[in-house]
Structure 1
Protein backbone atom coordinates (compact mmCIF):
# COMPACT_ATOMS: atom_id res chain seq x y z
CA UNK A 1 0.00 0.00 0.00
CA UNK A 2 1.40 3.36 -1.01
CA UNK A 3 1.50 6.41 1.27
CA UNK A 4 -1.43 8.03 -0.57
CA UNK A 5 -3.52 4.84 -0.30
CA UNK A 6 -2.69 4.63 3.41
CA UNK A 7 -3.73 8.25 3.92
CA UNK A 8 -7.01 7.63 2.07
CA UNK A 9 -7.68 4.51 4.16
CA UNK A 10 -7.08 6.52 7.35
CA UNK A 11 -9.44 9.25 6.13
CA UNK A 12 -12.14 6.66 5.34
CA UNK A 13 -11.91 5.00 8.77
CA UNK A 14 -14.84 6.09 10.89
CA UNK A 15 -16.87 7.37 7.92
CA UNK A 16 -19.67 6.16 5.67
CA UNK A 17 -16.98 5.49 3.05
CA UNK A 18 -15.58 2.79 5.34
CA UNK A 19 -19.04 1.21 5.59
CA UNK A 20 -19.49 1.15 1.80
CA UNK A 21 -17.28 -1.94 1.35
CA UNK A 22 -18.89 -3.94 4.17
CA UNK A 23 -21.56 -6.66 3.78
CA UNK A 24 -25.23 -5.63 3.54
CA UNK A 25 -25.89 -6.81 7.10
CA UNK A 26 -23.29 -4.39 8.45
CA UNK A 27 -24.80 -1.54 6.42
CA UNK A 28 -28.25 -2.36 7.81
CA UNK A 29 -26.95 -2.42 11.39
CA UNK A 30 -25.15 0.91 10.84
CA UNK A 31 -28.31 2.54 9.44
CA UNK A 32 -30.40 1.13 12.30
CA UNK A 33 -27.96 2.63 14.81
CA UNK A 34 -28.08 5.92 12.92
CA UNK A 35 -31.84 6.13 13.49
CA UNK A 36 -31.94 4.66 17.02
CA UNK A 37 -28.86 6.20 18.67
CA UNK A 38 -27.94 3.35 21.06
CA UNK A 39 -29.05 -0.27 21.08
CA UNK A 40 -27.96 -3.62 22.51
CA UNK A 41 -27.15 -6.56 20.26
CA UNK A 42 -30.52 -8.18 20.99
CA UNK A 43 -32.35 -4.92 20.24
CA UNK A 44 -30.45 -4.67 16.95
CA UNK A 45 -31.47 -8.23 16.06
CA UNK A 46 -35.10 -7.36 16.81
CA UNK A 47 -35.03 -4.09 14.83
CA UNK A 48 -33.22 -5.48 11.78
CA UNK A 49 -34.88 -8.93 11.79
CA UNK A 50 -31.39 -10.43 11.39
CA UNK A 51 -30.24 -13.50 13.36
CA UNK A 52 -28.18 -12.65 16.48
CA UNK A 53 -25.10 -14.31 14.97
CA UNK A 54 -25.33 -12.08 11.87
CA UNK A 55 -25.74 -8.98 14.03
CA UNK A 56 -22.67 -9.99 16.05
CA UNK A 57 -20.65 -10.42 12.83
CA UNK A 58 -21.88 -7.05 11.51
CA UNK A 59 -20.96 -5.29 14.76
CA UNK A 60 -17.49 -6.83 14.69
CA UNK A 61 -16.96 -5.61 11.12
CA UNK A 62 -18.25 -2.12 12.00
CA UNK A 63 -15.93 -1.96 15.03
CA UNK A 64 -12.97 -3.02 12.81
CA UNK A 65 -13.49 0.03 10.58
CA UNK A 66 -14.06 2.32 13.55
CA UNK A 67 -17.68 3.38 12.99
CA UNK A 68 -19.26 1.76 16.06
CA UNK A 69 -18.46 2.32 19.73
CA UNK A 70 -19.54 -0.06 22.46
CA UNK A 71 -19.75 0.20 26.22
CA UNK A 72 -21.18 -1.86 29.04
CA UNK A 73 -24.77 -1.22 30.00
CA UNK A 74 -25.19 0.40 33.40
CA UNK A 75 -28.48 -1.42 33.98
CA UNK A 76 -27.11 -4.86 33.02
CA UNK A 77 -23.33 -5.27 32.92
CA UNK A 78 -23.71 -8.50 30.91
CA UNK A 79 -24.89 -6.46 27.92
CA UNK A 80 -23.07 -4.02 25.69
CA UNK A 81 -24.62 -0.90 24.21
CA UNK A 82 -23.62 0.06 20.67
CA UNK A 83 -23.49 3.57 19.24
CA UNK A 84 -22.71 4.76 15.73
CA UNK A 85 -19.63 7.01 15.77
CA UNK A 86 -19.81 8.50 12.28
CA UNK A 87 -19.76 12.26 12.20
CA UNK A 88 -22.30 13.87 9.88
CA UNK A 89 -20.68 15.26 6.75
CA UNK A 90 -21.59 18.94 6.80
Structure 2
Protein backbone atom coordinates (compact mmCIF):
# COMPACT_ATOMS: atom_id res chain seq x y z
CA UNK A 1 0.00 0.00 0.00
CA UNK A 2 2.91 2.35 0.73
CA UNK A 3 4.26 1.93 -2.80
CA UNK A 4 0.98 2.90 -4.47
CA UNK A 5 0.65 5.89 -2.14
CA UNK A 6 4.12 7.03 -3.17
CA UNK A 7 3.30 6.58 -6.84
CA UNK A 8 0.12 8.61 -6.44
CA UNK A 9 2.02 11.40 -4.72
CA UNK A 10 4.73 11.35 -7.39
CA UNK A 11 2.27 11.61 -10.28
CA UNK A 12 0.35 14.29 -8.43
CA UNK A 13 3.51 16.30 -7.89
CA UNK A 14 4.43 15.95 -11.56
CA UNK A 15 1.12 17.45 -12.60
CA UNK A 16 1.40 20.21 -10.03
CA UNK A 17 4.96 21.00 -11.09
CA UNK A 18 3.91 21.21 -14.73
CA UNK A 19 1.08 23.62 -13.96
CA UNK A 20 3.36 25.64 -11.64
CA UNK A 21 5.27 26.84 -14.70
CA UNK A 22 1.99 28.15 -16.14
CA UNK A 23 1.02 29.89 -12.90
CA UNK A 24 3.67 32.57 -13.44
CA UNK A 25 2.44 33.36 -16.95
CA UNK A 26 -0.06 36.09 -17.93
CA UNK A 27 -3.80 35.37 -17.64
CA UNK A 28 -4.11 35.03 -21.41
CA UNK A 29 -1.58 32.17 -21.42
CA UNK A 30 -3.45 30.43 -18.59
CA UNK A 31 -6.70 30.75 -20.54
CA UNK A 32 -5.13 29.33 -23.69
CA UNK A 33 -3.69 26.43 -21.66
CA UNK A 34 -7.08 25.66 -20.11
CA UNK A 35 -8.83 25.73 -23.49
CA UNK A 36 -6.19 23.35 -24.89
CA UNK A 37 -6.73 21.11 -21.87
CA UNK A 38 -10.41 20.73 -22.80
CA UNK A 39 -10.21 20.90 -26.61
CA UNK A 40 -7.01 18.84 -27.09
CA UNK A 41 -5.65 20.23 -30.41
CA UNK A 42 -6.43 23.60 -31.99
CA UNK A 43 -4.96 26.10 -34.45
CA UNK A 44 -4.13 29.65 -33.43
CA UNK A 45 -7.27 31.00 -35.11
CA UNK A 46 -9.44 28.37 -33.38
CA UNK A 47 -7.87 29.35 -30.05
CA UNK A 48 -8.69 33.00 -30.76
CA UNK A 49 -12.32 32.02 -31.41
CA UNK A 50 -12.59 29.84 -28.30
CA UNK A 51 -10.92 32.30 -25.92
CA UNK A 52 -12.39 35.47 -27.48
CA UNK A 53 -8.87 36.94 -27.34
CA UNK A 54 -7.31 38.93 -30.19
CA UNK A 55 -5.04 36.84 -32.47
CA UNK A 56 -1.99 38.84 -31.39
CA UNK A 57 -2.67 38.03 -27.72
CA UNK A 58 -3.12 34.33 -28.52
CA UNK A 59 0.16 34.37 -30.46
CA UNK A 60 1.94 35.91 -27.45
CA UNK A 61 0.31 33.44 -25.04
CA UNK A 62 1.37 30.50 -27.21
CA UNK A 63 4.96 31.74 -27.39
CA UNK A 64 5.09 32.06 -23.59
CA UNK A 65 3.59 28.58 -23.16
CA UNK A 66 6.15 27.15 -25.59
CA UNK A 67 8.97 28.82 -23.62
CA UNK A 68 8.02 26.90 -20.47
CA UNK A 69 7.38 23.66 -22.37
CA UNK A 70 3.64 23.59 -21.70
CA UNK A 71 2.59 23.47 -25.37
CA UNK A 72 3.70 21.40 -28.35
CA UNK A 73 3.16 22.58 -31.90
CA UNK A 74 3.26 20.83 -35.24
CA UNK A 75 2.30 21.63 -38.81
CA UNK A 76 -1.22 20.81 -39.94
CA UNK A 77 -1.45 18.04 -42.53
CA UNK A 78 -4.50 19.63 -44.14
CA UNK A 79 -2.93 23.12 -44.39
CA UNK A 80 0.85 23.39 -43.98
CA UNK A 81 0.53 27.15 -43.37
CA UNK A 82 -1.17 26.44 -40.03
CA UNK A 83 0.23 25.00 -36.84
CA UNK A 84 -1.66 22.74 -34.44
CA UNK A 85 -1.14 23.28 -30.73
CA UNK A 86 -1.57 20.70 -27.98
CA UNK A 87 -1.03 20.92 -24.24
CA UNK A 88 2.01 18.92 -23.16
CA UNK A 89 1.59 19.11 -19.39
Which bracket does the TM-score occupy, shorter chain normalised? 0.7 to 0.9
Measure how far apart 1:54 and its partner are: 0.0
Which of the numbers 43, 54, 61 marks the counterpart of 1:40?
43
Mark the runs of 5 or more structure 2 residues left unpaired by the alignment. 1-13
Mark the runs of 5 or more structure 1 residues left unpaired by the alignment. 1-10
Which structure has the greater CA radius of gyration?
Answer: 2
| Structure-2-length-normalised TM-score | 0.81
Matched, 1:15 2:53: no
RMSD value, Cα: 1.5
**How many corresponding residue pairs?**
75
Q: Output one character per residue of 1:21-59: Cα deviation in whole Å (capped at 9) or x when no partner.
A: 000000000000000000000000000000000000000
